[in-house]
C-alpha cells in the first residue's frame, strides 16, 4: 500500500473502478465512498425475519487483510468498518465482472 511503489500508483483507481462496476452489475450491492478506496455494501435477509449488512472490499492480491484493516481509517475514512464479510482480490473481481 506504499504509494511510492511505481507499479501500484494506479491501484486505488483500478479498485474504485472495479467497485463501481461491481455495484452496477449486482443491483443488490451499493458502492460506499471511502477516502482512498471505495467498498461494497449489501443488505441481505428479510424485513420480517431480520436483515444483516455485509461489506466487501476489493483489494490488491498481495495485500494482507490484517494490514489493510489496520490502515482502514486512512483508506476508508473515519466511518470505516471493523471487518469485511469477504475480502476479494482485484483479479477475482475482474473475473466476476467479465462474466
| Contact in structure between 12 and 37 (CB atoms under 8 Å) | yes
Tell me how many degrees the CA angle 50-56-59 measures, rounded to the nearest 5.
170
Q: What is the pLDDT of residue 94?
A: 55
Task: Report percent pLDDT > 70 for the chain.
Answer: 75
pLDDT interval class at 60 (50, 70, 90): confident
Which whole number is the average pLDDT over 14-18? 90
pTM of the model as a whole: 0.74
Q: What is the pLDDT of residue 75?
A: 83
Q: Which residue has the cell 492480491?
A: 61
46's CB contacts (< 8 A; 6+ apart) are none
SS3 75: helix
Phi, psi of 74 (to 5 degrees): -70, -40
pLDDT tops 50 at residue 99: no
**Residue whose C-alpha is closest to residue 18's, from 42, 43, 37:** 37
pLDDT interval class at 52 (50, 70, 90): confident
Amino acid at each position: 500500500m506504499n504509494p511510492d511503489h511505481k507499479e501500484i500508483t494506479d491501484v486505488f483507481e483500478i479498485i474504485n473502478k472495479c467497485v463501481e462496476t461491481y455495484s452496477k452489475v449486482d443491483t443488490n450491492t451499493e458502492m460506499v465512498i471511502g477516502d482512498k478506496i471505495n467498498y461494497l455494501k449489501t443488505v441481505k435477509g428479510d424485513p420480517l425475519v431480520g436483515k444483516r449488512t455485509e461489506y466487501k472490499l476489493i483489494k490488491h492480491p498481495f495485500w494482507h487483510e490484517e494490514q489493510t484493516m489496520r490502515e482502514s481509517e486512512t483508506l476508508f475514512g473515519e466511518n470505516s468498518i471493523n471487518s469485511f464479510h469477504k475480502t476479494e482480490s482485484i483479479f477475482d473481481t475482474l473475473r466476476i465482472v467479465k462474466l
